[in-house]
Structure 1
């Protein structure tokens, strides 16, 4: 592979000193050097800080209308592609969902294949049925001449980037325990750090580090359990009192329920070379039914609604670990005693911003629970007053002293109606439904608690105010861009067997009503999604774009003042003005998208935009006689990589 130079100097040679300084001792210098050069993309979200922001600005607001297709590439997989391509020098690397193929594409030959690697697919019949939501992989990583990627079946592969030959292969997960892999890794120094998935099957989440040269395991630590297994040592310096207790990830669970408590690690990782900490957030608590993780039918709230005990640490939580040893540095439980599937897979976006007149090293997070956080990434302290960026009725506010949300008792879940009535008179559906179904919205009396009715709670957001799709942060605008969901739904938790086979679902809940949508003020709306631009300093949504038909795609921001994002509502690829949300350019792909766009420099020195269009699995294709604006009008099988360039004529 060759590396493009600009004006006799590489971008990396100009920027790497500022990025590295004295911090490179525990960073991979190859990753730092290559990611400092915006010609390349060596990891998902571009750089260690997870901002998914590119310094390239040749394509900008003045000329984006001149974009045209340069070449395309058919991935040959009829599944949802969620992994952004990587670009190193004159080679692009593309990873597909099952059956997990890797293509090295020659950028000198407009998409000619240099080599192809096909992952072992022998266990797919066992793996696919226990994969939550399809058969994806969300990215690859490059370092030291090797390409690293993960298969759904739990393999980690290290390939020679020049030849595609296998360097090493390790099995990271236990498929017999329904543990899969859908996320991506992080390469720091000589370690490949990665997670796992399986929160619907009673797994116990963990992160693992492997030597990038040999594949030898360096360490593994869990999200739940006793200190020695979670990596809690003298290094652990939590900010809040709830975590300053003995064995906080074990004592916060009923008996040994932590052994199957979820907290999977299926999202993105980011890294601060100065603090030598890496960051990620964990998946839902298992099972969803909290009665199996606390004294049955009881919830311990103070007068403000803060959960006092059995908080289920550390699922649905933000974690910071020492990158070399894996030891836990701090943790923050974002949704204590999570009962609503509030996974937190999104990338913890790292940004230095001014808070109250002082520059702070922060994590900016639009969380799945619907609240927007600014967190001190050195200590875990919540710096802002968290606020809802989407309508939500789970929290009534946030207690800054304890670092905990305050709960709305009407949305808390109980297996038995009589237990629910100890805390609230709210019936099957609460006021949050805004009279969508007035008959079911009537409150239940004590003489009507027999049977399942009375245990339901209407929850907003249902499952997620946002999902795994990466945000973008622009240092130019100071805004975080997020694909936001507005769905609400009623749900109830159910009784089940605590001793269970791992390959059977372990969520113990059921939906109790149809999905509906409320806007940020809680009013009925046809809007299902928004693209939002949120200011972490002022705590305000600066602009938003409404979508009546669902569209919730990863976002790329560039120094050209643009956002690039898919448009599932119309089957298009869009460029959007980062300042005001106006659409600057559209290209019809005819299908949906789930992978982040990327931008890079081609061998001729010109900026390119790459984008994979592919359909999501599991959705019913639109009927032949459906209206032209039907929700699934652009649900089409197939996956195509598009590469765009400026028309120079």
Structure 2
């Protein structure tokens, strides 16, 4: 690895910039406020407030609570501006303004149009959440599950404007959050599991007029590729890179949706977003059927499916694509990349770089130059994974393990690898089950299965936290492995989730440690150093626990603990749990901290998704899902005497 040293400069969070929204910058500069998800433009989810310290955090007490009133999983962090806290709920998407001077008394409530929920909810891949609201110039901005973008008067809750941004008939929903940059509200959308083609769209914050809309794949004009597009690596330096990398017109339903987080560098006037899984999961529908064009190192040479499972850098005014980096070319394992791209200044071999750091869902840790998209480190795995053997620095591409590449037909797979080849015993089992069950043969071997680590992803959408004090990036990660295979189906749009994915899981999920040995540990909270490429400390969770993280200037992390239904304060330097409060539920939303009347507060919402697997009445006290219970409550903590 190159010699990388941390620079203490705080970037893109509170720095000035003529093209940034000055009101947002001003409010971000005062840590008493929270005006956007992840707190600041740089995506650190780091607060400069310092009243609550490692020495007094054990004196935190509940100051007041608020019942959200929606029995669903809350994932949008509260906002705080002056004397008001703003809460956004999942479906049916309500906004509450709470009076901080009166223990959270309701100032007003806004209810988004829910008339099409019965049509929309079945199209929401993984729940019916919203992941954030934004504040700027006395206005609130958010989007509903049904794809409407709203602007509200922050003082009264009055509707200023609304726009239908998505096509529900094309399975396009909105579950993510947006970002306010100058006079634009920029948002993304979801639906990659159903054949949607991902895009980002920008609206005038004052009028709601749509200013531009650019897709993740397709012809240059659709993607925003023009003279300013200067990708660093050769695979992207081709004519129509986001169309030519797809087989025929498969790009028209290629996934790559934008349902996660945005970061922004005011000095470069560039914003960064990452794209979801390629669609469909089955790669045979996105390349010549059963063919794999890969060199001896494992680097894909064609049909790389640009730009799903990728990082994109765009001009924040025009939306033009400046550079793109395909994290997992021809993604066939659902290794989408909706999570945050924290922006950090690093010094490399004596040269300062504007960097972007990323713990990616494919299990590798990346440091890129956010000006050019060049890799600045040797990406390294932070979990065990068997898909990628390493990253080829010359091309910026992963070197794939041929045994984990997927095919629909066994004869195609056998052209490239003997892995998974059926024995005579396997063939007998498959024939017997096919005769007994026909198309419902279930897990009968087919010769196309591959065990994938990590299954789905090494981490999910939950935002990281970065601390300039420790120089560490904090991430919730997961360890699961499972066998999967591709299937053939009718390719029409929009489709049901299972029909569009064109794959199926086989066998039982299992978990492995960093060395590939089976383990009971399912998740970890990791503290990773982008300078040395090492995990400094980690906390193991035997029961599933994967939550957003907030860091503070006093070296404290605040994070939920689904394993015990607890909310925790953790020493950011050592990983020691220094305080714990039992909420009795999940905390799938980032905590926030704010200042009111000279006092620092911590707030978090505990909630769970409807339909979580219940535990039996006689289950052990520490049974999995014991603390995944329906209901949503906001807890606000302050230091007691």
What TM-score results when the alignment is normalised by the length of structure 1? 0.93
| Residue pair 1:83, 1:138 contacting (<8 A) in 2 also | yes
| Deviation of 1:279 (Å) | 0.1
Change (3 A) 1:263 1:443: farther
Partner of 1:640: 633
Give yes or no for contact 1:426–1:443 (8 Å, CA) kept in 2: no
Residue of structure 2 in register with 1:7 after alignment: none
Per the alignment, residue 569 of structure 1 pairs with: 563
Name the SS for the 2:634 alignment partner. strand
Aligned counterparts of 2:344 and 2:242: Cα–Cα separation in 1: 28
Q: CA 1:223/1:16 → structure 2, altered by over 3 Å: closer, same or farther? A: closer
Which residue of structure 2 aligns with residue 88 of structure 1? 81
Cα deviations by residue, 1:605-625 (Å, 9 ceiling, x for unpaired): 100000100013342111111
Q: 1:592 aligns with which of 567, 586, 591?
A: 586
Equivalent runs, 1:345-384 vs 2, <5 Å: 345-384=338-377
The counterpart of 1:507, out of the listed 501, 508, 526, is 501
Paired residues, number: 619
Q: What is the match of residue 126 of structure 1?
A: 119
Report the 3-state secondary structure (helix = DSSP H, G, I; strand = E; otherwise coil) of the residue aligned with 1:242.
helix
Partners of 2:126 and 2:12 in 1: CA distance? 42
Equivalent residues in 2 for 1:549-628 (5 A)?
A: 549-602=543-596, 604-628=597-621
Q: Separation in 1 of the partners of 2:95 and 2:584?
A: 25
User: What's 1:50 paired with?
Assistant: 43
Matched, 1:213 2:206: yes
Are residue 456 (structure 1) and residue 449 (structure 2) matched? yes
Alpha-carbon contact 2:12-2:343 (below 8 Å) kept: no
Cα shift readout 1:136-160 (whole Å, capped 9, x = no counterpart): 0001000000001111000111000
Secondary structure, in 3 states, of the residue corresponding to 2:446?
Answer: coil
CA distance in 2, matches of 1:513, 1:17: 46
Equivalent in 29, 53, 57 of residue 64 of structure 1: 57
Rate the CA distance shift 1:303–1:448 in 2: closer, same or farther, 3 A: farther
Q: What's the CA shift for 1:596? A: 0.1
Counterpart contact for 1:375–1:382, Cα < 8 Å: yes
Deviation sequence 1:146-178 (CA, Å, 0-9, x none): 001111000111000000000000011111111
| Map of 1:259 onto structure 2 | 252
CA–CA separation in structure 1 for the residues paired with 2:397 and 2:425: 30
1:383 Cα deviation after fit: 0.7
Matched residue, 1:149: 142
Alignment of 1:226-625 (within 5 A): 226-427=219-420, 453-502=446-495, 505-602=499-596, 604-625=597-618
RMSD over equivalenced CA pairs, Å: 1.8
Q: Is the 8 A contact 2:426 2:445 kept in 1?
A: no
Return the alpha-carbon distance in structure 1 between the equivalents of residues 299 and 322 of structure 2.
Answer: 24
Secondary structure, aligned partner of 2:473: strand
Given that 2:170 and 2:493 are in contact with CA atoms closer than 8 Å, whether structure 1 keeps it comes out as no
Relative distance call for 1:444 and 1:558 in structure 2 (3 A) is farther
Find the aligned partners of 1:596 and 1:46 in 2 and give their Cα distance: 10
Offset of 1:18 from its aligned partner? 10
Instruction: Tell me, in whole angstroms, the C-alpha distance in 2 between the residues paired with 1:279 and 1:273.
Output: 12
- Post-superposition Cα deviations, 1:570-617, rounded to whole Å, max 9, x if no partner, equal 110000000010000000111111000000001x21000001000133
Q: Specify whether residues 510 and 18 from structure 1 end up closer, same or farther in structure 2 by C-alpha distance, changes over 3 A only.
A: closer
Work out whether residues 203 and 502 of structure 1, in 8 Å CA contact, stay in contact via their aligned partners in 2: no
Q: CA deviation at 1:501?
A: 3.7
Q: Does 1:36 align with 2:29?
A: yes
Q: How far is the alpha carbon of 1:443 from its aligned partner? A: 10
Which string of whole-angstrom CA distances, capped at 9 and with x for unpartnered residues, describes residues 242-276 of structure 1? Answer: 00000000000000000000000000000000111
In 2, Cα distance between equivalents of 1:17 and 1:370 = 26
Contact 1:80 1:136 in 2 (8 A): yes
Query: 1:125 aligns to what SS in structure 2?
Result: helix
Name the residue aligned to 1:12. none
Contact 1:176 1:503 in 2 (8 A): no
The SS at the match of 2:151 is strand
Q: Find the aligned partners of 2:429 and 2:13 in 1 and give their Cα distance.
A: 68
Instruction: Summarize the Cα distance change of 1:591–1:197 in structure 2 as closer, same or farther, 3 Å threshold.
Output: same
CA distance in 2, matches of 1:54, 1:551: 23
Preserved contact between residue 425 and residue 444 of structure 1 (Cα < 8 Å) = no
Structure 1 residues 112 and 426, CA, compared in 2 at 3 Å: closer, same or farther?
same
Q: Secondary structure at the residue paired with 2:538? A: strand
**Match of 1:624, SS?**
coil
Q: 1:188 aligns with which of 181, 194, 200?
A: 181
**Secondary structure of 1:65's aligned partner:** helix
- Does the residue aligned with 1:506 lie in a helix, a strand or coil? helix
Instruction: Show the counterpart of 2:153.
Output: 160
Unpaired segments ≥5 residues, structure 2? 1-9, 432-443
Q: Provide closer, same or farther for how the CA distance between residues 534 and 499 of structure 1 changes in structure 2, counting only shifts above 3 A.
A: same
1:292-315 residue CA offsets vs partner (Å, 9 max, x unmatched): 000100110001000000000000
Report the Cα offset of residue 448 of structure 1. Answer: 9.7
| Distance in 2 of aligned mates of 1:123 and 1:355 | 52
Q: TM-score, normalised by structure 2?
A: 0.94
For 1:85 and 1:621, the matched residues in 2 are separated by 28
Rounded Cα–Cα distance in structure 2 between residues aligned with 1:127 and 1:189: 31
Secondary structure (helix, strand or coil) at the match of 1:608 reads strand
Q: Is the 8 A contact 1:178 1:503 kept in 2?
A: no
1:95-114 correspondence runs (5 A): 95-114=88-107
